[in-house]
Each structure stands twice: as structure tokens, then as C-alpha cells.
A and B are shown apart, each in its own frame.
Chain A
Amino acid sequence: MASYIVRRLLGLIPTLFVITVIVFLLMHAMPGNAFMALVYNPKVKDPAALIARLEAQNGLNQPLYIQYFDWLRNVFQGNLGMSQSLNEPVSQAIGQALPNTLLLAVTAEVIILLVSIPIGVLQANRANKGFDITTSFIAVLFYSIPGFVFALILLLFFSFKWNILPSTGTVTPGVSYSGSLGDHIIHLVLPAMALALPSLAYYTRLTRGNTLQVIVADFVRTAKAKGLRTPRILFRHVLRNAIIPLVTQFGFDIGGLFGGAIILEEIFTWPGMGELSINATLSHDYPLILGSTLVFAVTVLIGNLIADILLAVSDPRIRYD
């Protein structure tokens, strides 16, 4: 298993190479760069000269392939460069933003799994009966609504109408309980819910479908013939099988959840990777764009790897060696 993981991780390198090359080319295809805005700064006397000097300092006057390989060489030395818009190392900016996004994504994932799996299993157990029909209807409804619309609806009610949950940031500034665990949690609720809701509906449907397939299997009849009661049959014998395709899908979706976080972070002014990368793009901050792209790409690929590992762990019939 360990050697398999190492081999898979090494296998990620060519993919990452291709992704960064593409992003590098696209980013340079955008008109202008991070220093062009200085033209409009009234305090700068000779903007053209300053821009030329800054471009030279940052190597922007070199041919593209040299710029790319310079960046790559630095990455291999663990150096993602200096952000041109924030004036701090890219790694430091990412180091502050990434934990926030991870917290958001992981919380959303936990909500998704804890809610959708039991509901999906119970729906399948009484397929086409009242509970199944009503919850399935709600699930389809939720699934067809984009996450940012949920975000706005949640904000409207919980923050503005009823004023029970905060709408922005990760902590409440300037109060005694600022930064406490409870403070963190109440800030997390709305963005995590908005991120979780559409996937929650999707995973409920997926669990229901998988469970319906497994519930007719011969070994379920055996379990009944042993006198086991329904909860044990459903949540041990059936779910243990139905969850296998589910965890695989889940690993693949980690990247998607990360992507979904980008828009929500804007709405909730959540200082995570989404905000960071949008600001980087808007200000043409090349090192920051490349750095955050690298983080997103690694997340997606690690998600795929996690999917494979979860599959191996959850299905004893699969062996990796």
C-alpha cells in the first residue's frame, strides 16, 4: 500500500507540469501585468520608467520559457516567489488562506456524509413510500439550485431577517469572545451549509440508488435468515457494500468542493483560497496565480488519490501491490 501511494504521488508530477504550463500561457495571454496600474497612480512621476524597472526586477522582460523554468526551478527549491500585489511571499499568503478553505470544505464534507448517507439508506429501505417520496422531492429541488443562490437565501434569512448568524468573516472582531471556538463555529455554519446543500442532495440520491441495488442481493437474504434485525442489516450489511462507490465518488469530488468554495468565499468574505486566487487574477499577480493554481491542482489530484485509497480500504476484494 505505502509503495503504491508513493508511486501514485510520483505519477502526479507530469500532470502538474502540464497544468502549470497551461495556466502560465493563459495568464500571459491576459493583457497587461501587475504593474500596469501604476500608470494611473498620480504619485508616480515617471510611471513608464518605474514599470520597466519593476518588470526587469521580476524577470517579466525575459522570454516566456525562461520565465517558466525560473519559476519551476524556484518551486523545486520550495520557493513560490513573491506576490506582486500583496508584497509578501506567495507561500505565506497561501499558508494563511488554505487552512480557512480546508476548514470550510472539510466541514461541508462532514455535513454531507452525516446527513445524506442515513437519509439515502432509509429512503431505499422504504422506496416509493411517503418518506422516500417527500425527501427525494426535496433532494431534487436542492440539487437543481446552485450553491450561490443557497448562500444568498441563507444570508437573507439567518443573517438579515432573523439576525442569528454572522454573514461575513471567520471571527467577530472587537468582542470578548472573538476567536473562541464558538465564535469560529457560528461563522462557519452558513458558508459550510451553502457549500454542502447541493452536494447533500446529490449524495442522498447516490446513496439511495446504491442501497437499492445492494438491498436485493443474496447476502441480504442470508442476513435476514440469520434473524438479524433491520438496523443491523441496513447499516452493516447493506451500507458496508453501498458505500464503496460512494467513497470513490467522494474522493473525486474533493476538487469540485474546493472549486465551489471559491464563489462562496466571495459571498461570505471568507479569507480563503477562493478570495486569494480571485484577487490574484484581478491584479495579474503572476506568482500568486501560479501558486494558487498549483494548490488547486494538487488538491484535485490528491482527491483522486484519496478516492483510490478509500476504495482499496473499503473493498477487501481490491488489492494494490
Chain B
Amino acid sequence: MSTPLLEVRNLKTHFISRTSRVRAVDGVDFSVERGKVLGIVGESGSGKSMTSLSIMRLVPGPQGQIVDGEILLDGKNLLKLTEREMTNIRGNQIGMIFQEPMTALNPVLKIGEQIGEVLTRHRGMNKAEAKKHAVELLKNVGFPRAEQIVNEYPHQLSGGMRQRAMIAMAMACQPTLLIADEPTTALDVTIQAQVLDLMRELKNRTGTAIILITHDLGVIAEMADDMVVMYGGQVVESGSADSVFEEPLHPYTRALLESIPVIDEERERLTAIPGTVPSAANFPEGCRFADRCSLVESSCREKMPELRELRKGHSVRCTLAV
């Protein structure tokens, strides 16, 4: 077995102020294999975005700080790099796309410049070469009139087109890892499917590994090779997508799977999980899911459950799981 492309070990990212400490990411472990898709699911506030921003070392400072852990890209710890070395990784070895393609693009710069500047920065191209290459990149993500699009501004494009442009930008330097933080949440359903198809096609063509963050287990089922379920800043379950879907071991994962709306069946209703996510500023002792867990026992509240590998490559953070 070769080493994974990316290994995240015991990552802790906290927001520290004089009066409080928000443990947004609190001891996260997972790895991403080369050319594979890792899906991360979890409710709002579970720390998905902060995990991905930590990998990019773009946690909003000065309050947000990576206080512990390792992030190994090709065995190299990104947390040990200088900021200047890190700028050589961003956009070059790791590309990132965000949820809101309207606000994620600069409203007053042309699409061609916004794509091209990645190439002038990392590939040493001059402006003319970069613009020419940007046209090619836009064609690769399915723009028929790419020659015009490079001269247009973001507001002239539809939401789906903007996200395609974002993908072209993030993929410009053929990164080994693409992080997509809810790339389709802001789009309507048919466009969502197109954008996901595009990402899968690009992955197959270029061998780029993808971290795909989403609320939507359906998207994970369709796209992911491996998956991580996050809750309260922690990984509560991780494994291959097949084994997790086949045999979810954590009560939270099971509840999530039950809440997928299943069409053409009797239970067509979306069963949301009762209760709310505990505040990251004030986690309870012991298991963080205890207040919402139907199986909770007194022992669950005494000690934080460890993440245990119960099946081969399939781990769970629940005292009672066997």
C-alpha cells in the first residue's frame, strides 16, 4: 500500500477569544487516497468547512487557529510550511471551490483574468498565454463560447456557469487534490447533476482526488469512494462509502440515512433528527451525540468514546457499537 495523498491527523481548529473557545474542529482524522473521492457529511456547524479551510491554511484569523494536529500532503506536513511556501501549494497542488459561486468570484474582474492569474502565478505564463489557456480550460468544463466568456464578468453568467468557471479555475494547474465545499448547494437540481457529472469526468480524466463536502447523502452515495461523517467537530464514523451505507455503525449515521427522503416508497416524509447540534463553544462531557441518541446510556456521558476500527477500514465513535 502506498501512502495516502492526504492524511489529516488529530486536527484541532479552535476559535479563541478572551471569553470563549469554540472547538470548531476537535480532533479530526481521515485520509484521502490518490484519485479517489472522499465525501464528508454532517449537519450545519459540524466543522466541515473549517476542516477544509484548515487544510488550505485559510482559517479566518486571528481568532481561528489550528491548535493541534498534522496535515500531511504526500507525506509533507502543511502545518510546518511558511506562509510563502503555502501560497505555492494553494491553487497549484490543492484547488478549492466554494458553495456560493456568485460571491466567490470577484464581481469586477473578467472571468478570463480570474482564471488566467492562477496560471501566471503558478505556471509563469504571461497574460496573453494565460488568457489563451483559460479559453481551453473553459472549453474543458463545457463552455461552448469560451472565447467570449473570458471577456465577460461573473454577473453575466448563470449560477451553474459560474460554478463551472470556478471549477475551471480550481483545476487550472491540475492539482492532485480538489476540495469542493458544498459545490452544488446553491444550484437547482438539474444543474447540480450536471456539475457533479463534470467533477466526476474531470476526476477520471486527470486523476485528481476530491474532498466533497455536502449535506446530501444522496450526493455521497453517487460520487464518493470513501466517506466521513462529522458531528460536533469530530469524525463519528468513517470508512468506504459502500460499507458505511451497507452497515452504518453510528446511531447518528443511521439517523441521517433514515432522514434521506425516499421517493416511491411508503415513508416519503423526511424524518429530521430531533434535537439540535450542541454548541461548539460548550460541548457536553462524553459523547457529543448523547442528547439526541435513542440508545444513550449513562456510560455514554461519562467518557468521550474513542474512534474504533470495528470492521476493516471502517471506524466508529460510539461506545455501544459492536
Contact = CB atoms under 8 A, between A and B. Distances in A.
Interface stretch (A40-48, A84-92, A218-226): A218-226
B87 A219 contact: no
A222 B153 contact: no
Interface stretch (A147-155, A189-197, A248-256, A309-317): A309-317
Nearest to B108: A240
Contact of A232 (B105, B117, B122, B169): B117
B87 A229 contact: yes
Contacts of B105: 219, 222
A316 B108 contact: yes
Interface in A178-237: 217-219, 221-229, 232, 236-237
A227 B122 CA distance: 8
A214 to B, nearest CB: 10
A227 B88 contact: yes
A247 interface: no
Nearest to B89: A227
24 contacts: A218-B104, A219-B103, A223-B106, A224-B56, A224-B90, A225-B58, A225-B91, A226-B90, A226-B118, A228-B87, A228-B91, A232-B117, A232-B121, A236-B109, A237-B109, A240-B109, A241-B108, A244-B108, A314-B108, A315-B108, A316-B107, A316-B155, A317-B107, A317-B153
A93 to B, nearest CB: 44
Given A227-B88, A227-B92, A222 B104 contact: yes
A192 to B, nearest CB: 31
Contacts of A241: 106-108
Interface residues of B, number: 28
Contacts of A240: 106, 108-109
A228 B106 CA distance: 14
Contacts of B166: 222
A313 to B, nearest CB: 11
Contact of A218 (B88, B92, B103): B103
Contact of B104 (A219, A228, A314, A315): A219
B118 to A, nearest CB: 5
B100 interface: yes
B25 interface: no
B117 A226 contact: yes
Interface in B10-59: 56, 58
Interface in A289-318: 314-317
Nearest to A222: B104
Nearest to B169: A226
Nearest to A220: B106
Contacts of B87: 227-229
B73 to A, nearest CB: 14
For A226, A314, A315, the residue with the greatest tally of chain B CB atoms inside 10 Å of its CB is A226
B98 A221 contact: yes
Q: Max chain B CB contacts within 10 Å: which of A217, A224, A229, A237?
A: A224
B210 interface: no
A227 B91 contact: yes
B126 to A, nearest CB: 15
Contacts of B109: 236-237, 240
